[in-house]
Structure 1
Amino acid sequence: MSSVKAGIISESTKLFKRTKYKVLLICIELLVIFIGIISNFTEGHINVSLSSFELNILSIFTNILIPLIVFMAVADLFAAEQENGTIKAVITRPISRYEILVSKMISILIYVICVLMITFIISSVIGVLFGRTQVINIPGIFAAYIISILPSIPIIFLSILISQLSKSSTSSVMLSVLIYIIIMALGLIFPSISSVAFTSYTNLYKFFIGSQMSVKSILTVIGLLSGYSLIFFSGAYALFEKREY
C-alpha cells in the first residue's frame, strides 16, 4: 500500500508540474468565468442559462472537456513515457506493474477531480453573485459534481487500454477520441444499445437529481459502469504486464 501511495505522489507531481496542465486549470477557470459573465448579460440566451448554470457547465465538461483531459493525461503518463523510454526508470523501481498502473490511473483521476472542484467553486460563486443560485442549493450541486467523478473512471481505463496499443502519444489521443466518438455515435444512431453504452452516462448526476428512477435502476447503471471499468482495466493491465521495454 505504501508503494502505491508513493507512486500516486510521484505520478501526480509529474502531472501537475507540467506547464500545460497548470495552464489548462487556469484556462478552465477563465472559461467558466467568461461563460458566466456572457450568460448574465445575455440573460442566458447562449444555451447556458444561469438558472442552472452550475449543472449546465457540468454537462458540457463531463461530455466533452473531461474525456479530452483524460485522453491527454493518459497519453502523457503512458504512451509518451513508453515512446521516449522513461517508463524503464519507473518499472525498475521496487513497485509492481499493477501498482504502477493503479498509481497512474489514480493520479489522472485526482486531476479530473481538481478540474471538477475548481469548476464547481467558480460556477457556484458566479451563480450566487448574479443571484441565480440559492446558497441552500449548493450542497445538491456539489453532490452532482461528486457523482460525475464515477463516469470518468471507465473512460480513463479505456484510454489506458488504447495507449497500450498505440505507438505514440499523438496516436493514443487520436485513437481515444475516435473510439469515444464512435461509441457515442452508435448510442445515438441505435437507441437500443444506448442503455448499455457507458458513454450514455456521462451525465450520471441527472439520475440522482430531479429523477424518479428507482434505486434498482440507479444501482444497475453503477454496476454497468463498474463492469466496463473492470473489463477495460483487465485488458489494460494484461497488455501493460506483458509489454517489453
Structure 2
Amino acid sequence: MFNLIYNEMLKMIRKKRFWTVLLILVVLIPIFTYGQYRNAETAIKQIGTSDWRAVLQQQIIDSQNRLTSSRIPEEWKQFTKVNIQLQQYYLDHNINPQEPGAPTFTREFVEQAVSLFLPLLVVILSADLVSSEQSSGTIKLLLTRPVPRWKILSSKYISLLFSISLMLLMTAILSYLISGVIFGYKGWTLPVLTGFSQEGEQLITNNIHMIPQWKFVLMQYGLAWFSCIVVGTLSFMVSVLVRNTASSMGVMLAAIIAGTLLTQLAPTWPQLKYVAFLHLDLTNFLSGEPTMIEGITLLFSLGVLATWSIVALIISFVTFERRDVLG
C-alpha cells in the first residue's frame, strides 16, 4: 500500500497539479492582501479616523440604514439584524474583531475562502484523479498487477487526502508570510470571541468565551480541512463515475457554484439544508457569522457533510470494483 501511495503522489507532482495550485496561491494571496489594505485605507478616508471603534460604529449605522429599505427580502433583514448584534457585542466589550496583523489576515482569509476559493483548488487536485487514467488507458496497466482494485483506489484517495492537507498548510503559511509584509507578523495572542449561537433574530451570548487568536486559527483550519476533504471526496466520486477529465471538472465546478448561488437566491427553501455545498463555510460557526437558513448548527452541518462523504466513498468503490475497465 505504501508503494501505491508513493506512486500516486509522484503522479500528482509530475502532472504539476499541486504546483499549479501553489502558483495560484502565490499569485492571488498578494492581491487579496493588497485589496484588504486598500479597503482599510478607503474606510479610514471615508470615516476620517483610524479608530476601529468609529469604523465598527459606522458599519452598524450602515446596516441599520439598509434595514429601512422595503426592497430587502425578510430573510436578509434577519441576517442583518443578527450581524448588527454581533458587531455591537464586539463594540461593547472593547474588542477589535479585525486587529491588523498577519495572523488576523490568515484568519479572515480562510473564513472567506472556505466556501468557494479553497473548494475550487481542491477540484483542481482531485477532478481527474481517476478519470484521466481511464481516458488515457493507463488504468489498465495498474489493474494488470496482482493488486486488488480496492487497494488501488484506496491509494489514490489517501494520496488525495495528503495533497489536500498539504495544500491547506501551504495556504496558511503563504497567507501569514505574504500579508505580514504589509500588516506585520504580530497578533497571535490577541483575544478572539467565539461560542456564538443564533435563534431566529436573536444572538445568544450565554456560551461566548475568549481564546487567543492562534487557537482560533487552528480551529478554523481544522474545520476548513474537513470541508475540503468533503469536496475532495465528492470530486473523487465524480472522477470515478465520469471517464472524461473535462466533464468531471465541469460537474464539480457547476455543483460548487450552484450551491453558493442557491444560498443567495433561495435561503428560505428548507430542503437546502441537506445539500452538502451549503455547509462548507463551517468557520462561520466559530466567528458568529449568522446563517441564512434556520435550524442549522455546527453538528448538523458536520453530520450532513459526513453523510455525503460516506455515500460518495461507497459509490466510488462499488463502481470501481464492478466496472469493466479492461473492456
TM-score (norm 1): 0.82
Higher strand share: 2
Is the 8 Å Cα contact of residues 63 and 202 (structure 1) preserved in structure 2?
Answer: yes
Residue number in structure 1 paired with 2:15: 18
Higher helix share: 1
Q: Which has the larger radius of gyration?
A: 2
What is the CA-CA distance between 1:190 and the residue it aligns to?
4.8
- The residue number in structure 2 matching 1:81 is 133
Partner of 1:203: 281
Could you tell me how far apart the structure 2 residues matched to 1:79 and 1:172 are?
7
Instruction: Letter of the 1:233 partner, please give it.
Output: L
CA contact (8 A) 1:124 1:138 kept: no
Q: 1:98 to 1:61 in 2, by over 3 A?
A: farther
Check the 8 A contact 1:33/1:122 in 2, yes or no: no
Alignment of 1:71-110 (within 5 A): 71-110=123-162
Query: Does structure 2 retain, via aligned residues, the 8 Å contact 1:39–1:50?
Result: no
- CA drift of 1:15 comes to 0.6
CA 1:208–1:97 in 2, change beyond 3 Å: closer, same or farther?
farther
Instruction: Give the AA of the match of 1:29.
Output: V
- Residue pair 1:62, 1:202 contacting (<8 A) in 2 also: yes
Alpha-carbon shift at residue 185 of structure 1 (Å) = 3.6
Query: Who is 2:32 aligned against?
Result: 35
CA RMSD of aligned residues (A): 2.9
Equivalenced residue count is 238
In 2, Cα distance between equivalents of 1:193 and 1:128: 42
Q: Describe the shift of the 1:18–1:41 C-alpha distance in structure 2 as closer, same or farther (beyond 3 A).
A: same
What is the letter of the counterpart of residue 75 of structure 1? A
Answer yes or no: is 1:225 the counterpart of 2:305: yes
Distance 1:211 1:70, change over 3 A: closer
Deviation string 1:188-221 (CA, Å, 9 cap, x unpaired) is 42531232222122121222345899xx943333
| CA shift for structure 1 position 19 | 2.7
Alignment of 1:96-245 (within 5 A): 96-129=148-181, 130-131=183-184, 134-136=187-189, 137-188=213-264, 189-191=266-268, 192-210=270-288, 217-245=297-325
Equivalent position SS for 1:223: helix
Distance in 2 (alpha carbons) for counterparts of 1:17 and 1:230: 30
Percent identical residues? 24
